[in-house]
Amino acid sequence: MQIKTFQKPSELILEQDCVLVLGYFDGLHRGHKALFEEARKVAEDQKLPIAVMTFNESPQLTFSRFSPELLLHIAYPEKRYQKFEEYGVDSLFLMDFTSQFASLSSDDFIRDYICRLRAKVVVVGFDYKFGNDQTDSSYLEQHFNGQVITVKEVQDEGQKISSTRIRDLLTSGDVAEVNRLLGYSFSTRGIVVHGDARGRTIGFPTANLATIDRTYLPSDGVYVTDVLVDGERYRAMTSLGKNVTFGGTELRLEAHIFNFNRDLYGQTIEVIWLDKIRDMVKFEGIDGLINQLCLDREVALKWEKSEK
């Protein structure tokens, strides 16, 4: 897959007609996947490549009062690129959503972006809006000299599958449901750094992680996870919280990797979130904590994905 970052329409160059998919795809969940399934059908039938034009960051940064959450993503960039490629995208065009871009009329957007990308077919979601007048796909059908495919809302258990719904689930720690709606496993990357080394003294040594991506984290708690180290996948239990039993005040991400005894300091590893075991609890003493960690370990080792 070709990936190109651009700043102005003149930099948009494709050598042949394409099926163009438009939207802001944070997370690339199952609702988004439906757009690419439609795009692939048309692309295979008309023997065309698939192109995507999307944005590096949330368009809300241009419209809303700033809050740090606006800079967070569900999936880090490389993971998004990987999913685009899996979904059949041949060319990915990335740009910043700026005030200048937001001021474009719908007609200018069609002329300067869609037509310049040699779109023969455009695929968008049912709630797609574009231009400074926020027109939808019906306007595109009237003013674009090509085919427009509008993909219907994708629901699960009577609710729309959306990035907002997934973010809400993360705040409650329901990572199993997050993974089901994404269609793949939610994960977090981090560099292994030195911590308090307290886990080693109680028989549960941990890899302490400093996260390296601007991605969401689930709510505080203890989780069943897998951890990727040098391409190998290990079962683990991971805690996210402030170590309240020991009076901690800083958020810590710590993974106890089973059947693993190597030092990993300075190495980047990836935590794959599978299910939540429990909330963080303040124990009165170390013995209570150790007893609970032994129970957590049994849950993590026996955990298997359920088919819902």
CB atoms within 10 A of CB 107: 14
The whole-number average pLDDT for the span 114-138 is 95
Q: Are residues 48 and 125 in the same domain?
A: yes
The whole-number average pLDDT for the span 65-70 is 95
Rounded to whole angstroms, the Cα distance separating 223 from 208 reads: 15
Evaluate whether residue 124 is within a structural domain. Answer: yes
Evaluate whether residue 219 is within a structural domain. Answer: yes
Q: Is the pLDDT reported for residue 127 higher than 60?
A: yes
CA–centroid distance for 16 within its chain: 30
The whole-number average pLDDT for the span 35-60 is 97
Q: Are residues 19 and 133 in the same domain?
A: yes
The whole-number average pLDDT for the span 288-298 is 91
In this prediction, residue 242 carries a pLDDT of 76
Q: Is the pLDDT reported for residue 141 higher than 60?
A: yes
Q: What angle do CA 145, 151, 156 make, to 5 degrees?
A: 170
In this structure, what CATH number is given to the domain that contains residue 38? 3.40.50.620
Q: Work out the burial of residue 134: count CB atoms within 10 Å of its CB; fewer than 13 is exposed, 13-18 middle, 19 or more buried.
A: exposed
The whole-number average pLDDT for the span 65-81 is 96
CB atoms within 10 A of CB 19: 30
Evaluate whether residue 172 is within a structural domain. Answer: no
Rounded to whole angstroms, the Cα distance separating 173 from 238 reads: 13
Query: What does each C-alpha distance from 70 to 31, 163, 281 come to in angstroms?
Result: 21, 13, 30
Evaluate whether residue 199 is within a structural domain. Answer: yes
Between 284 and 25, residue with greater pLDDT: 25
Confidence of residue 139 (pLDDT cuts 50, 70, 90): very high
Predicted TM-score (pTM) of the model is: 0.92
